Amino acid sequence: MFSCWLSRLYWALSKPTGRTKPLIWGSLSRSLVLSSQRRIPELSSFVARTNTCGELRSSHLGQEVTLCGWIQYRRQNIFLVLRDFNGLVQVVIPQDESAASVKKILCEAPVESVVQVSGIVISRPPGQENPVSHLETKMPTGEIEIKVKTAKLLNSCKKLPFEIKDFLKKTEALRLQYRYLDLRSSQMQYNLRLRSQMVMKMREYLCNLHGFVDVETPTLFKRTPGGAKEFVIPSREPGKFYSLPQSPQQFKQLLMVGGLDRYFQVARCYRDEGSRPDRQPEFTQIDIEMSFVDQTGIQSLIEGLVQYSWPNDKDPVVVPFPSMTFAEALAGYGTDKPDTRFGMKIVDISDVFRNTEVRFLQDALSKPQGTVKAICIPEGAKYLKRKDIESIRKSAADRFKQEVLPVFLKASRNWNSPVGKLIMEEQGLQLIRLLEVQEEDVVLLTAGEREKACSLLGKLRLECADLLEAGGVVLRDPALFSFLWVVDFPLFLPKEENPKELESAHHPFTAPHPSDVHLLYTEPQKVRSQHYDLVLNGSEIGGGSIRIHDAELQRYILATILKEDVKLLSHLLQALDCGAPPHGGIALGLDRLMCLITGAPSIRDVIAFPKSFRGHDLMSNAPDSIPPEELKPYHIQVSWPTDPEAEKSSLNHPCHPES
């Protein structure tokens, strides 16, 4: 319910941050200065009210106040609960004859109507403090109520499709269709206000503390080579199109060439991925670029940024963040974005089985990159049911073409595990030692090509974590925010459709790792990059790199290694030739970050007007048809599909129901 959340938020924001570890480069003292000087904003300036509903306390007793808000609830035509963005307050409806018109207004206005009331703050009769029993939480204004003198109906509300407080229980399609009602819920108000406050603190950190310049870059741009996910915008010149860029990458680099030195932007970006759940066609990133910086510099900047802007109602963030190489992440967690809030790491047990007689293990180990790997699920025997294990084995076989075997300490429980009986006692002891197996644990074992085995176990690790938590184990503390840098990515990856050719692992402007530059000309697939990802609780929330500032190197990578058409990027290559400083940067995904911080089930809950799975605005019904004559100035016409199947597949969306 609307209750203490907002006053808590403002209170939290006005507290000193109470940081414990000093930021490097002296930014701590500054940040403490700013934070402790923060004032609670004036919420009733310039408007008809004297106070917000949620701020009234015993300290306001006897004051004459004017409030504006929505009728949340009415009890027996005697009390009325008035709501605004800042909370709830109880209003006493006058019962005497002389106030008949006030009573009429307050008793007849439907719930969710907008009223303005003036009156005196009085204390509630003894025993009636916080009596609003239908509210789930304590009412911060519960010691007082308003004795109304005058009331004005500002806008009457027609019958709503449903009550505001029930909104979060409704289907998401309905919430999106009536987004303007959904926004009245305390959760959406909290999410959007916290987002605004965090972005503001990020701006203070970047702009006021570290001299970054907020530069707006264009969104009507030229298609980038291979930019298959870019929306196109027809111009008034026949056959000429703008493109909505996926990020300001080129512009931020050009700003460095232009000597801007330190750039940031809360940048709107666009990506047309057809339909993917939990992706939005437009999204926001905190976009940053610096000159004369190295990887450590960017990492320290971002650690300071997160620490400075972190909500004060959460546990403080500890810096520096731990760091892990891509190779370590893959080996230990089977993914490049490990969730480090819990263990169950992948362990290489190949050596245990070097001389095994188990045939499929032998086979696997004899192949190049062949390994045997395992994870140990603590108390798995207690929490994983037989059908869980079977479903795991089946999905591994079906989806990953890989066999997974469960191994139990107690041989009696080795359901369906042909390997159980074949493990020698010596091997069993080695497994117990390597995996630190306890009595009730389950070991999941797989064999095969190294990357595939790790990737599979990485997925099983998360699945098993879900299963354990469904059983009541607290594995991932919701109050814990586990940041992690992942570094030393490969610069190139084999193309999926033709593994003999290489493509950029991230983007073609990423600089190679200084130790690996010589390999570019001999074994480019072995070159590591100066790319870094920021991971939070197993989600990638940011990524960046030191960029190539040497035109020759950039040209070589584009033309010789990636075989791209260099002409399309000639302006960038030319810019690098004109005295480009060494530079690097990063982009943080704001929607995802806010989603993790607020614990929202979807990024749509931290965006005011999100699109549905299928990219629709369910409120206004966008995208919509346009009459052909309005397309004429743009020299385009619709090609109506003749084959309904082709149309279907072009939409390329899984079967997510939409209203």
The answer to whether 525 and 502 have CB atoms below 8 angstroms apart is: yes
Work out how close the CB of 267 gets to a second copy at its nearest, in angstroms, rounded to a whole number: 10
Torsion-angle region of residue 45: left (phi > 0), alpha (psi -120 to 50) or beta? Answer: beta
Work out how close the CB of 303 gets to a second copy at its nearest, in angstroms, rounded to a whole number: 10
Please list every residue from 208 through 227 that binds a second copy, using CB under 8 A.
208-211, 213-223
Query: Which is nearer to a second copy, 354 or 656 (by Cβ)?
Result: 656
The answer to whether 167 and 185 have CB atoms below 8 angstroms apart is: yes
The answer to whether 442 and 377 have CB atoms below 8 angstroms apart is: yes
Please list every residue from 114 through 173 that binds a second copy, using CB under 8 A.
114, 116, 154-158, 160
Could you say which of 151, 192, 457, 511 contacts a second copy (CB under 8 A)?
A: 192
Q: Does 81 bind a second copy (CB under 8 A)?
A: no
Task: State the Rg of the chain over Cα.
Answer: 30
Work out how close the CB of 77 gets to a second copy at its nearest, in angstroms, rounded to a whole number: 20
Work out how close the CB of 95 gets to a second copy at its nearest, in angstroms, rounded to a whole number: 25
Burial zone of 593 (CB within 10 Å; 0-12 exposed, 13-18 middle, 19+ buried): buried
Could you say which of 150, 197, 430, 598 contacts a second copy (CB under 8 A)?
A: 197
Could you say which of 125, 368, 579, 657 contacts a second copy (CB under 8 A)?
A: 579
Work out how close the CB of 87 gets to a second copy at its nearest, in angstroms, rounded to a whole number: 12
Query: Which is nearer to a second copy, 99 or 183 (by Cβ)?
Result: 183
Interatomic CA distance for residues 184 and 83, integer angstroms: 10
Query: Which is nearer to a second copy, 290 or 541 (by Cβ)?
Result: 290
Q: Does 609 bind a second copy (CB under 8 A)?
A: yes
Interatomic CA distance for residues 530 and 446, integer angstroms: 32
Could you say which of 85, 167, 310, 326 contacts a second copy (CB under 8 A)?
A: 85
Query: Which is nearer to a second copy, 152 or 450 (by Cβ)?
Result: 152
Work out how close the CB of 173 gets to a second copy at its nearest, in angstroms, rounded to a whole number: 14
Could you say which of 102, 106, 257, 437 contacts a second copy (CB under 8 A)?
A: 257
What are the CA-CA distances from residue 617 to residues 173, 188, 199, 248 (Å)? 10, 18, 25, 25
**Sole residue written with tokens 């972005």:** 199
Query: Which is nearer to a second copy, 183 or 519 (by Cβ)?
Result: 183
Could you say which of 285, 611, 612, 613 contacts a second copy (CB under 8 A)?
A: 611
Contact range with a second copy by CB under 8 A, out of 233-241, 352-360, 485-493, 511-519? 233-241
Pattern 13-52, a second copy, x by CB under 8 A: ------------xxx--x--xx--xxx-xxx-xxxxx---
Query: What angle is formed at CA 136 by the lines to CA 71 and CA 473, rounded to 5 degrees?
Result: 145
The two tokens of residue 165 are 């407080």
* Residue 288 backbone phi and psi in degrees, to 5: -135, 140
Q: Does 276 bind a second copy (CB under 8 A)?
A: no
Q: Does 397 bind a second copy (CB under 8 A)?
A: no
Could you say which of 128, 235, 391, 539 contacts a second copy (CB under 8 A)?
A: 235
Q: Which residues pair with 290 in a beta bridge?
A: 262, 584
User: What is the distance, to the nearest Å, from the Cα of residue 509 to the centroid of all Cα atoms in its chain?
Assistant: 25
Pattern 539-568, a second copy, x by CB under 8 A: ----------xx------------------
The two tokens of residue 402 are 């890989």
Work out how close the CB of 52 gets to a second copy at its nearest, in angstroms, rounded to a whole number: 8
Query: Which is nearer to a second copy, 185 or 455 (by Cβ)?
Result: 185
Question: In this structure, what DSSP letter does residue 57 have?
Answer: -
The answer to whether 216 and 263 have CB atoms below 8 angstroms apart is: no
Who's near 357: CB < 8 A, 6+ residues apart?
422
Could you say which of 259, 472, 654, 657 contacts a second copy (CB under 8 A)?
A: 259
Q: Does 657 bind a second copy (CB under 8 A)?
A: no
Query: What angle is formed at CA 212 by the lines to CA 287 and CA 210, rounded to 5 degrees?
Result: 120
Q: Does 228 bind a second copy (CB under 8 A)?
A: yes
**Residues contacting a second copy: total by CB under 8 A:** 147
Could you say which of 281, 332, 338, 524 contacts a second copy (CB under 8 A)?
A: 281
The two tokens of residue 124 are 């509630």
First CA to last CA across the chain, in angstroms? 27
Work out how close the CB of 248 gets to a second copy at its nearest, in angstroms, rounded to a whole number: 10
Residues found in the chain = 659
The two tokens of residue 394 are 């089946």
Q: Does 258 bind a second copy (CB under 8 A)?
A: yes
Interatomic CA distance for residues 268 and 51, integer angstroms: 35
Please list every residue from 622 through 641 that binds a second copy, using CB under 8 A.
622-626, 630-641
Please list every residue from 288 through 347 that binds a second copy, using CB under 8 A.
290-294, 297-298, 300-301
* Residue 598 backbone phi and psi in degrees, to 5: -80, -10
Could you say which of 183, 318, 434, 505 contacts a second copy (CB under 8 A)?
A: 183
Please list every residue from 59 through 78 that binds a second copy, using CB under 8 A.
68, 70
Interatomic CA distance for residues 151 and 107, integer angstroms: 11
Tell me the residue type at 619. M
Query: Which is nearer to a second copy, 263 or 342 (by Cβ)?
Result: 263
Of 193, 103, 196, 82, nearest to 146 (Cα)? 82
The answer to whether 38 and 201 have CB atoms below 8 angstroms apart is: no
The two tokens of residue 510 are 């990423």
Work out how close the CB of 12 gets to a second copy at its nearest, in angstroms, rounded to a whole number: 14
Query: Which is nearer to a second copy, 107 or 213 (by Cβ)?
Result: 213
Most distant CA atoms of the chain, gap in Å: 98
